[in-house]
Structure 1
Amino acid sequence: MDALSLTLRSVTSSKAAQIKRQETHFKEERLSLQSILDCEPNGNKRLKAILKTYSQFPLMPQTNTSRDKFIATIEKYLERTVPDPCAPIAQWERRLKAIIDSQCLRYEHANLYKDILKEWRDSTDEPEKLIDDSSFEVEDLCQSKDAIVKWLQGVFASTQASTKALEDLRAGVALFERTMKENKGHFTKSSMNWCIWGLLRSDLLTDEKRRVLTVIQQDEDALQDVIDDINMRMNTLDQWAWPTEGVTAEQRRQVGSKYRISHDEDLIDALLLRYVGVKWSVQMSERLVAFAKAHTWLSPLNTVSRNDRTRRDHFLGPTTDHSAGVQGQRLKTFEDDFFLAQLLRHEKEVDRGYEDDFEQEDRNRGLQTRQSITELKHSLLQLLNVGITVRKRLDDEVTVVQSDFKAFGTSIPHTTISAVLTFFGVSQSWTEFIIKALAVPIVFREDGPEAEVRKRRRSTHMSSPLADFCSELLMFGMDFAVWQCTSGLRLYRLHDDFWLWGSEDACVRGWSDMADFAKVMGLAFNAEKSGAIRVSRTTRTPLSSSLPRGDVSWGFLKLSSSGYFVLDNALLDKHITALIAQLASSKSLFAWIRIWNTYGVRYFMSMLGGERPASCFGAQHIALMQQCFARMHQKVFQDEANVANYLRKEIKGDSPERNSYEKSKTLYEQGRTVGLAQSRYTPHRPGFFPFKELVRAREQLSHDLLKAYKALLDRPKPVKVVTSDEVEAVLGGSQGLEGSYDLCLLELYKDGLVANFGGLNIVETKLLPMGMVAMARKERIKWNV
């Protein structure tokens, strides 16, 4: 729940309590008045008692000149020394009691409005609560820290070269920590700006806090105050802690009806953790790349002998760069795009969202825009397709393995992270801080004032640079283990989605090491997303039972044994059903078009590998994409057949311009066209000119279109409403309601309003959060799938 929703909830609750207190007091006074009237037979004294109580009531103010004049008249009458024996005392009493009774109705309607507001407010919250309690469990699935260290030692210190590279990595980490400790001015305007831009481009902040952060960034004094504050916190980092009352969490609905828990943390904490996470991410990226290069992980495999190179140079000419070619190109792509892709390479890197295009703005600010995860996925799919095509031609067959970890973000035990950090040389003080940052004390406000504060014992669920640093460092161990045991196969990985392809024997060894890694680290594979397949033109033997069972899939695509992708119609139909529901829920044509463009076009295209498939996919992939959209069009539009027909029908099938054309054609054919006799032009062909020619220049020449255009630009003026004397009395000369629609409504319902509520105002608006409602209605509507 964002800051605006929380504020709305708080204000609504406060005003509801205020209404309740006033209503209780009103009812008590009313009962007291009735007790007095039951014992008082004198009419004048009864009037005085009613007026006295009326003046003491906690009433909702009401503008009604007629009523006010009546009460003033009664007060003047009661001031007389000798009462008028002919005065209609009983009638006046009934009218005064009716005024008081109208307050009961106003309180009832205030409560009704409050309940309606609560229902509306609750409907803007997520419809259900799907909390993954696994991230709060205390029990760890891993064997122990000793088992983790032993496994890592076996992978990273198995040779003299890797042991030396590991020592250099740890030394670099120690140097980085000393530099961080000696720096007493971490935050400057420059570092604060890249921290702020990074946060604004992430999905961590609520809309309200985005606005606050933008205001701070633009205010020099406020920015300097924040810089000074965070520098003090950085210099006493060992004393930093989450608030004892916990951090409010909200569940955000994702594509595919999945929910993710997001933390609404304090802005200062968010900036501090962003800075720390970026620093560690950039530093560890540099150290791990150096380790990989020192151990030839990021070097081409030297499988060509010196003699072979010499003979090749003799017959084909000398080659200065023996790393050029497919292997070198594949290695460069792996290092640039996929090796530890979640780690930042530079402090000023920012994420690019699914639909964002801020590259020019980022360059102007000195920032670097990273490829979006969607772009990387499309690139990886193309690499896989190329790899399959090449291996199928050269080696006849290739085996592909795909998997990910089940609930990876919420399932990593903090004891595992602590052991991995320590193994790679992170000091105890920094390890304790990082684990403390990950162990967010969560409180779900929906649980009420007595909501339990629950402390995370597992997960890197913050989706921040610090969380990415921890998860990438952990997965680095699996990456290196697979490379070693497969004699050079590289695990293509995006966060915890990973792909491996090569010979079946190498894939079996790689999968075995992945399974060992998962067991030691306390993780589990996602069976629904784990699969393997052999692509071959000739081999028909069963796939090794050691590999995972299941399809190798990508979005709406499933890989076949022929090496081509086919449609997963079951998954496609599921999303088509969701698309139909979204389109049906749209409230306007523009909303319908937005949903169609975003979900029906862009998302579906992404699930087919992107809108610009590489040549490696071949013509059959284009046909598959056409098949997918044809299936979707048929189910979504049915009789309309396609989106164009649907929109044409919605906008309106019968065109006034076509009617005008037919009318003009008839006049021409009857010889009644104005000026026809004076025309000196002779058509080359008999008959009226075609409709296409008419509409071709309609924006330049069509009088009908000009007339319609001007009519659409006109602003209709309100019609003067003739109001009755009763409405004029209710308005009391006020000019607050001049709109014809409002006056018409008031004229229609004047009798009931005056009789039941004594005036125009049904409730006292100051007791209701009208301003908050107005603000909330201006907020962007969140689009859900």
Structure 2
Amino acid sequence: MASATSVLSKTLQSITLTKIKELEKQRNSYETRKREVLAKAASCEDPRDRVTCLLDGVWELCPAAYRDPNVGNMERWLQQSRYDASIPVSTLDSFDSKLRKKLDTQSHKLSLADLYSRLLTEWMDPPSSFSSGKDTPSSDDASGDTFEMVERQKERLAGLVDKFESVVFEPYQTSESDISSFLDDLFPDDDAKKVLTTLRKRIARESKALMAESTPFNEESLARCIRGLLTEDLLSDEKQAILRDFLGNSVALGEIADVLNMRFTDLRQWQWDAGEEGIRVMPRQQLNGKYRIWADDDMLQMVFVQYIGIRLCNLLKSALKDFISDRSIWTWSQGAMESTPTQRDMDRRQYFTGVSLKPLSKKVVETERKNRYLDDFFLSQLPDGETSLYEGGNGGYDGDDDDEGFDEWKRPAGTHQKGPSIKQRLLRQLTSDMLIHRLRSVTYGKPLDSGKGVAILQTDLQWYGTSLPHSTVYAAMRYVGFTDDWVAFFKKYLEAPLNLDHSAEHRTPTGPRPRKRGVPMAHSSEKLIGELVLFFIDLTVNRQTGMLLHRLHDDIWLCGDPEDCARAWAGMQRFAEVFGLEFNSSKTGSVYLASEAKKDRKVAAVLPHGPVIIGFLKLNPESGDWDINQSQVDAHVWQLQKQLALCDSVLSWVQTWNSCIGRFFSHTFGEPAHCFGREHIDSTLQTYEKMQETIFGPGGNVVAHLKQMIRSRFQVDDPPDAFIFLPEHLGGLGVRNPFVSLFLVRDEISETPRQILEEFLERERDDHAHARRSFEATDEALLRRRLRAIYPDGRDERALDPGLRGFMPLAEYARFREAASPALHETYTRLLSVPELQGISLSKEVADALRRCGAAEGGRLEAEKRWIVQLYADELLETCGGISLVDKQFLPVGVLNMKRGKKVTWQMVL
């Protein structure tokens, strides 16, 4: 593991070491003076003199005593005792004990501050050799495995580079006429063609206007672009540091803006100008441990193209959102006839209930689903504005990202983050839609599995960003209206001169070669091109089946009527064939949830075979529940053990633990939600219990393990348990406890998803009965007026139809519930929601102690930290005299922030 020194500011390190030395001097001075005070007190025969001596020592050595009214009171009572014999010796002995405890408490806090300093020193300058076998379980064979793992990793990297080389330099020519013909078939009627023409004119007009700008770069726009780049896992530490320096230097920003503006005014003549060596390409490890091939671009070129990409992303997303808002282009009823009322259906609903199915209320499932799709999933990788990337609007989604720091259900209610947590919302969306679909054609009194059923389909595209045919990109750009100038620019940009000579060991030098397939990884241009091309698969599925395809870049999911899913899958395969793409068979599968009697064998045969897996969750094909995939968990726990064994300091061990246990696993297990039920939380708790036993052995735990590490490395006996878990700003190590976050919400989920659905069916039955009674109580004259309102041409003889005499049956009333039922909307939003945190209450003593130490007041302290603080409050108050383990002045805040900001990368990949 790389030394922290390689990334830590030398100045900050020097200041921290100075602070540590000063602390050591103060601690030694304190202990020396304390011994003198105790020795002097021991020589006093009169208890009053002894207490006076101790009191003077406390006033001198414990500055906080001046804020403690008890100490001041003791002094006054001590003066009284010299004259008043009614104050017994036992009271003086009590004063003696309390004052000695004050001195011991300060010693204890200084000892912990010293320990913290030694831990930080170890982290900043780890030993070149450390005995991991003594303090890391299952690490006896770690060093023996390391060589084998390194060699295996080298082989895999060489294979990755070879695969990359075999793809990107060999063009795959798709037919622009075939692509245009395929897309034209999606717009068969004149209304749709008119909307398409409007889209093309808009994109042509706005993209021309962008190219005509003379000075798009200024200090503000450049700073926004750089901040966006810094959010991507795209740059080396060195380049990130340079860009951060630019952000703080307005002169540098101004000079760079001038250069880039000159480059932009000559955009039609733009070239890579990469020299004889071209652009060096290297495999780089991401936070999730996987290696990807990255081009080491010139920084100014990177900023230049990043800005252009963001502007075009903004332009495209706005235009396509408006495009699909037209009813002639897009359908929101999710495919099945059950949710698409005919005119006769709407007339009957109006007649019987007096309420129209149109216009759609905002409080119905169909509208809610539409809004969530547009807000969260439609072209989700395209930034909405120039600031979206770094403000959390559109993070760089990766199917295996660890979502560090974005546990949505741990944030205060009302906050909304559209970054990595998008995958958690997708999981809840698919699960809730699956449950609602299973209700179709089911009414009160019928089993929930008696309906037609539902299918979930999952797939992704094989090497999408790497193998995307350039001819497909140009065809897609022209189809939506981008001008030839922009197509020409991207042709030069995509055909970058890539040099793989240094990408792996023992390669035969070939020099730079022009790229012929694929797009650069994680740039805004990848978002622009990738989303533009795949917008057409979204459109294909919706136009052919009425379904909403949920897509996070090239990871694709469908949920809906099994027949619609089968037709959508056929359309997707045809799309891939025409556009020169290929689905990844190892990540393609489906689950058909229906009773055996209801399953259509022909439909089942068309759907792709294979499991449906999101994170560590696998969809059970029988129950429709998400089960934790224990084999995946076991493999990653094995990885975690190996990575922990390689940590060269206690703090790096804590950092790795927090990232993997506290964030990575909590994300991949799926965050608690009402659509999963309490059983999912209990299953996660059991999995954490098993993981802990695997890592630490039977009966072991993280507290005992870290105490043993500290004991063996620093010869410190038994630091308090609170030291392990307490937040860093209170002097603890801040170790994440995965159990706490789950218990904060467990009691808030009391019903299973099935019970929630059954409650709705009961309510729907009652609503139907109420509507029937209301209809039966309506007089004939009012019913005739309703008919005249529905049929203004006077054909109210339809009232003679026997079907209008008796109220609509429950099955008909329920048929369009997704478009008409506010009650189903309540059920739907409840299933989609995450539970409110049920925080623990702080005692008055703890809340007061938090305020005294200057930490976040109890009301603002995060729920998980409140839990920890209150749990260890008795120990803290007893041994430290307050909630803080270490006085704030002794905490090296700068280094702690640096430690927190350095993300952990999985070191080994299965």
Same fold, TM exceeding 0.5?
Answer: yes
Whether 1:394 and 2:440 are equivalent positions in the alignment is yes
CA deviation after TM superposition for structure 1 residue 229, in Å: 0.7
1:195-344 pair list within 5 angstroms: 195-242=225-272, 243-244=274-275, 245-254=277-286, 257-297=289-329, 300-301=332-333, 303-305=340-342, 308-309=345-346, 312=349, 318=355, 322-324=360-362, 325-344=364-383
CA deviation after TM superposition for structure 1 residue 304, in Å: 3.2
For the 8 Å contact 1:349–1:369, the answer to whether it is kept is no
Residue deviations 1:68-111, cap 9 Å, x none? xxxxxxxxxxxxxxxxxxxxxxxxxxxxxxxxxxxxxxxxxxxx
For the 8 Å contact 1:248–1:442, the answer to whether it is kept is yes
Alignment partner of 1:342: what SS? coil
Deviates more, 1:400-409 or 1:599-608: 599-608
Q: 1:540 to 1:241 in 2, by over 3 A?
A: same
1:497 to 555, 565, 570: 555
Alignment partner of 2:179: what SS? helix
Residue deviations 1:586-606, cap 9 Å, x none? 112222121111112311111
Q: Which residue of 2 aligns with 1:758?
A: none
Q: 1:573 to 1:172 in 2, by over 3 A?
A: same
Q: 1:713 to 1:385 in 2, by over 3 A?
A: closer
Q: Which residue of 2 aligns with 1:573?
A: 634
CA deviation after TM superposition for structure 1 residue 505, in Å: 1.1
Q: Distance in 1 between matches of 2:5 and 2:656?
A: 24
CA deviation after TM superposition for structure 1 residue 616, in Å: 0.9
Whether 1:595 and 2:656 are equivalent positions in the alignment is yes
Q: 1:546 to 1:5 in 2, by over 3 A?
A: farther
1:158-557 pair list within 5 angstroms: 158-242=188-272, 243-244=274-275, 245-254=277-286, 257-297=289-329, 300-301=332-333, 303-305=340-342, 308-309=345-346, 312=349, 318=355, 322-324=360-362, 325-351=364-390, 352=392, 354-355=403-404, 371-372=418-419, 374-395=420-441, 396=451, 397-444=453-500, 446=502, 452-486=511-545, 488-537=546-595, 539=597, 541=599, 542=601, 544-557=604-617
Whether 1:133 and 2:164 are equivalent positions in the alignment is yes
For the 8 Å contact 2:312–2:528, the answer to whether it is kept is yes
Alignment partner of 1:615: what SS? coil
- Structure 1 counterpart of 2:283, one-letter code: Q
Q: 1:201 to 1:258 in 2, by over 3 A?
A: closer
TM-score by length of 2: 0.56
Q: Distance in 1 between matches of 2:178 and 2:325?
A: 27
CA deviation after TM superposition for structure 1 residue 317, in Å: 6.0
Deviates more, 1:541-550 or 1:477-486: 541-550
Q: Which residue of 2 aligns with 1:774?
A: none
Gaps of 5+ in 1: 7-119, 360-367, 659-694, 715-776
- Structure 2 counterpart of 1:342, one-letter code: Q
Q: 1:273 to 1:135 in 2, by over 3 A?
A: farther
Alignment partner of 1:587: what SS? coil
Gaps of 5+ in 2: 7-146, 334-338, 396-402, 409-414, 442-450, 721-871, 892-898
- Structure 1 counterpart of 2:301, one-letter code: D
Q: Distance in 2 between matches of 1:650 and 1:158?
A: 70
Q: Distance in 1 between matches of 2:437 and 2:589?
A: 19
CA deviation after TM superposition for structure 1 residue 631, in Å: 2.7
Q: Which residue of 2 aligns with 1:583?
A: 644
Q: Distance in 2 between matches of 1:207 and 1:400?
A: 41
Q: Distance in 1 between matches of 2:678 and 2:880?
A: 48
TM-score by length of 1: 0.64
Q: Distance in 1 between matches of 2:568 and 2:407?
A: 39
For the 8 Å contact 2:659–2:904, the answer to whether it is kept is no
CA deviation after TM superposition for structure 1 residue 250, in Å: 2.6
Q: Distance in 2 between matches of 1:276 and 1:233?
A: 12
Q: Which residue of 2 aligns with 1:629?
A: 688
For the 8 Å contact 2:655–2:904, the answer to whether it is kept is no
1:666-685 pair list within 5 angstroms: none
Deviates more, 1:273-282 or 1:384-393: 384-393
Residue deviations 1:471-526, cap 9 Å, x none? 1111111111111111x111000100111111111111100010011111111111
Q: Distance in 1 between matches of 2:438 and 2:590?
A: 16
For the 8 Å contact 1:135–1:459, the answer to whether it is kept is no
For the 8 Å contact 1:142–1:519, the answer to whether it is kept is no
For the 8 Å contact 1:136–1:456, the answer to whether it is kept is no
Backbone CA RMSD of aligned residues:
3.8
For the 8 Å contact 1:583–1:595, the answer to whether it is kept is yes
Q: Which residue of 2 aligns with 1:95?
A: none
Whether 1:148 and 2:195 are equivalent positions in the alignment is no
Q: Distance in 2 between matches of 1:369 and 1:247?
A: 39
- Structure 2 counterpart of 1:599, one-letter code: C
Alignment partner of 2:185: what SS? helix
Alignment partner of 1:248: what SS? strand
For the 8 Å contact 1:350–1:369, the answer to whether it is kept is no
Residue deviations 1:234-264, cap 9 Å, x none? 0101221111331122321135642112222
Deviates more, 1:537-546 or 1:289-298: 537-546
For the 8 Å contact 1:298–1:331, the answer to whether it is kept is no
Q: 1:135 to 1:435 in 2, by over 3 A?
A: farther
CA deviation after TM superposition for structure 1 residue 652, in Å: 4.9
Residue deviations 1:447-487, cap 9 Å, x none? 6895521322111233122221111111111111111111x
Alignment partner of 2:315: what SS? helix
- Structure 2 counterpart of 1:371, one-letter code: K
CA deviation after TM superposition for structure 1 residue 420, in Å: 1.3
CA deviation after TM superposition for structure 1 residue 299, in Å: 5.9
Q: 1:296 to 1:150 in 2, by over 3 A?
A: closer
Alignment partner of 2:475: what SS? helix
- Structure 1 counterpart of 2:291, one-letter code: Y
- Structure 2 counterpart of 1:158, one-letter code: P
Corresponding residue pairs, total: 554
CA deviation after TM superposition for structure 1 residue 440, in Å: 2.1
Query: Kindly, what percent of the aligned residue pairs are identical?
Result: 29
Q: 1:485 to 1:358 in 2, by over 3 A?
A: closer
For the 8 Å contact 1:350–1:370, the answer to whether it is kept is no
CA deviation after TM superposition for structure 1 residue 713, in Å: 8.6
Q: Distance in 2 between matches of 1:406 and 1:607?
A: 22
- Structure 2 counterpart of 1:477, one-letter code: F
Deviates more, 1:379-388 or 1:146-155: 146-155
For the 8 Å contact 2:404–2:664, the answer to whether it is kept is no
Q: Distance in 1 between matches of 2:626 and 2:719?
A: 47
CA deviation after TM superposition for structure 1 residue 228, in Å: 0.9
For the 8 Å contact 1:511–1:547, the answer to whether it is kept is yes
Alignment partner of 1:401: what SS? strand
Whether 1:646 and 2:683 are equivalent positions in the alignment is no
Q: 1:410 to 1:369 in 2, by over 3 A?
A: farther
